[in-house]
Amino acid sequence: MQINPITLKDLAALIEATFIGNEGHLITGLNEIHRVTPGDAVFVDHPKYYDKALQSAATTVIINKDVECPAGKALIIHPEPFTAFNKLTQHFKPKQYSSVFNSPSASIGVNSIVMPGAFIGNHVSIGNNCIIHPNVIIYDNCRIGNNVIIHAGTIIGSDAFYFKNRKTHFEQLQTCGNVIIEDDVHIGANCAIDKGVTSDTIIGKGTIIDNLVHIAHDVVIGEMCLFAAGIAVAGCCNIGNRVTMWGQVGVSSSLTIGDGAVIQAQSGVGEDIPAGMVVFGTPATETKAKMREIFALRQLPALIQKLYDK
């Protein structure tokens, strides 16, 4: 998320941390590693990811070790970067809990209909000509474009499933990103679309989503995709344009699916899928090859019997 620019010295003071770098160095955003741009502070607490964080576009790194500071960047040394980052999130974007169904700070465009029982959180914006069916929940700060239809019971903006395993409990990374639904999107009933952790979950223009679909934090879906019912897409996936996923497909986290790919029903995608490829199965592989495997497997019991008979 973007924040009002703050100096390295002042940011470090907020979390009672020491720093390495010019005290006037500016931080203009707080973002998790997979979506960083210059000006951002990012956190890292595992040696495995030190290099990734230090070499990322982020210009400030909150880290739990006194390492060499890359040129042009700054470090903030804190024994618990994850917890420190949560404190900053809470400082810059404190959680609010609206006590009314339609927050007075929400904006709703012309010709848009919000039906009974729908909850529109603080600072939500809804475009023109939308239909928000009964009992849809839109969490604070989410943005809905024009001509969007959201069917009953769908949840837009729940927290990311992003937790750090502490010895005695799981510590949640405080979600401060949003969900952005672009124009002409149609979402079915009882779906759940999580906010990005620090950035945005995006449903691209003209994409159609059926019922009971889960879209995790920071997923970016392109334009004019078709998602059938019961799909679950894990966090940080990048889905191209005109991708089709049939019913009950699952996609593991942080994968890229190219434009025009087709994922057949119940497939479990465990690796990137190139543009235009048609895949099937768990783990999903190119459909024709998969069908040959299925056909071969049907012959296997008799084949084994035959080999034993020899």
Closer CB to a copy of itself, 37 or 190, in the complex: 190
- CB of 8: closest distance to a copy of itself in angstroms? 33
**φ, ψ for residue 148, nearest 5 deg:** -95, 135
- Scanning 163-286, the segments in alpha helix (DSSP H) are none
Catalytic residue among 78, 151, 214, 217: 217
Closer CB to a copy of itself, 77 or 126, in the complex: 126
Q: How far is CA 127 from CA 120, 188, 208, 220, 256, in A?
A: 13, 18, 17, 20, 29
Long-range CB pairs of 90-93 (<8 Å, 24+ gap) are 90/174, 91/14, 92/1, 92/3, 92/4, 92/30, 92/176, 93/1, 93/176
Q: Which amino acid appears at position 242 of this protein?
A: R
Closer CB to a copy of itself, 36 or 269, in the complex: 269
- CB of 305: closest distance to a copy of itself in angstroms? 9
26 vs 33: CA distance, rounded Å: 18
Closer CB to a copy of itself, 93 or 133, in the complex: 133
- CB of 218: closest distance to a copy of itself in angstroms? 14
- CB of 166: closest distance to a copy of itself in angstroms? 9
Closer CB to a copy of itself, 48 or 298, in the complex: 298
- CB of 241: closest distance to a copy of itself in angstroms? 12
Strand order in the sheet with 60-63: 2-7, 26-30, 40-44, 60-63, 74-77, 18-20
**φ, ψ for residue 2, nearest 5 deg:** -80, 145
217 assigned to active site: yes
Token pair 């970016």 is at which residue? 220
As annotated, the active-site residues are 217
